[in-house]
């Protein structure tokens, strides 16, 4: 997708360097926007291979409101391995802290908990939260079906009163859906953007969510828009970024997305959705910064 590559190029062109919490400096710009029309295909990068299975299982994890890291591990998804509820395993770069975080399965009141149980009292990963808090995801679906002209269909994961109970304060902290001329659009906001590792996942994850919400509500798929704030590219990712920019973005067409046996967003499983005709250049390794 050229829209993504343009963001990578812009960060490299600006050459604005700043320090980071993780350690390595990062080239950083203040603000960018990603935009894609779903009619043009499913936005899974073709200039490097992106693992759709991991994206889909993480989204199912969020939709279900699960906060148990073990659920992901059981599905061979290791995105959240190094993170943990800071109340149980405080964040740190030292070996002892890293081991505690790795061993702790509770992630705290992260994304899915806020989507499905906003502001409920958080106890533990295995607590029954049924009926607790505000089910924001359910609310926007019901609103879209009853009143598609509504401009208040918003889901917010940023809960200031519970940030100290989250493995990581949400990077993509909120999204909104709008319906225009029978097309459902999804617009997300992101405070912190790891351009090379995180952003391709974020794009595909919200595209998948848009797809599911459109199926749930009966509208056609519309535009996916990301409002990106602190957009950064770690210095140890520069070589890989330049490699990706050198690849022909037009060599492969975007894949399409197919979801079978769909009854509801809330019953959906990651394996129900498949990308068809996905072709890409080889994977580019990028070291994850914790």
The residues that are catalytic are 171
- Return d(Cα 101, Cα 267) in angstroms, integer: 31
Q: Report the distance separating Cα 270 and Cα 282, nearest Å.
A: 23
Q: What's the rounded Cα separation, in Å, for the pair 52 and 193?
A: 19
Q: Which residues contact 179 (CB under 8 A, 6 or more apart)?
A: 144, 148, 149, 185, 217, 219, 222
15 contacts: CB under 8 Å, gap ≥ 6:
27
Query: Is the CB of residue 264 less than 8 Å from the CB of residue 43?
Result: no
**Residues forming beta bridges with residue 257, ordered by sequence position:** 275
Residue 204 to residue 49: CA distance in whole angstroms: 12
Please state the length of the chain: 290
Q: Of 86, 41, 12, which Cα lies nearest the Cα of 278? A: 41
């Amino acid at each position: 997708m050229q829209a993504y590559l343009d963001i990578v190029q812009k960060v490299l062109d600006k050459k604005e360097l700043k320090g980071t919490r993780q350690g390595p400096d990062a080239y950083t710009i203040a603000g960018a926007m990603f935009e894609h029309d779903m009619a043009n295909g499913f936005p899974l990068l073709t200039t490097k291979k992106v693992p759709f299975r991991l994206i889909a299982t993480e989204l199912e994890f969020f939709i279900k409101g699960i906060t148990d890291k073990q659920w992901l591990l059981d599905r061979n998804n290791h995105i959240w391995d190094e993170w943990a509820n800071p109340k149980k395993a405080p964040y740190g770069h030292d070996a002892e802290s890293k081991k505690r975080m790795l061993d702790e399965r509770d992630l705290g009141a992260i994304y899915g908990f806020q989507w499905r149980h906003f502001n409920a009292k958080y106890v533990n990963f295995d607590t029954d939260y049924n009926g607790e808090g505000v089910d924001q995801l359910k609310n926007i679906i019901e609103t879209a079906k009853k009143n598609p002209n509504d401009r208040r269909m918003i889901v917010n994961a940023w809960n200031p009163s519970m940030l100290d109970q989250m493995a990581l304060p949400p990077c993509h902290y909120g999204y909104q859906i709008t319906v225009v001329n029978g097309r459902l659009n999804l617009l997300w906001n992101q405070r912190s953007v790891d351009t090379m590792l995180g952003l391709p996942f974020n794009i595909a994850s919200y595209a998948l969510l848009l797809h599911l919400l459109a199926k749930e509500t009966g509208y056609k798929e519309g535009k996916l828009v990301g409002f990106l704030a602190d957009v950064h590219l770690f210095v140890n990712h520069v070589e890989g970024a330049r490699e990706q920019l050198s690849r022909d973005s037009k060599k492969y067409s975007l894949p399409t997305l197919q979801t079978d046996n769909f009854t509801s967003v809330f019953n959906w499983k990651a394996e129900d959705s498949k990308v068809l005709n996905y072709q890409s250049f080889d994977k580019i390794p990028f070291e994850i910064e914790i």
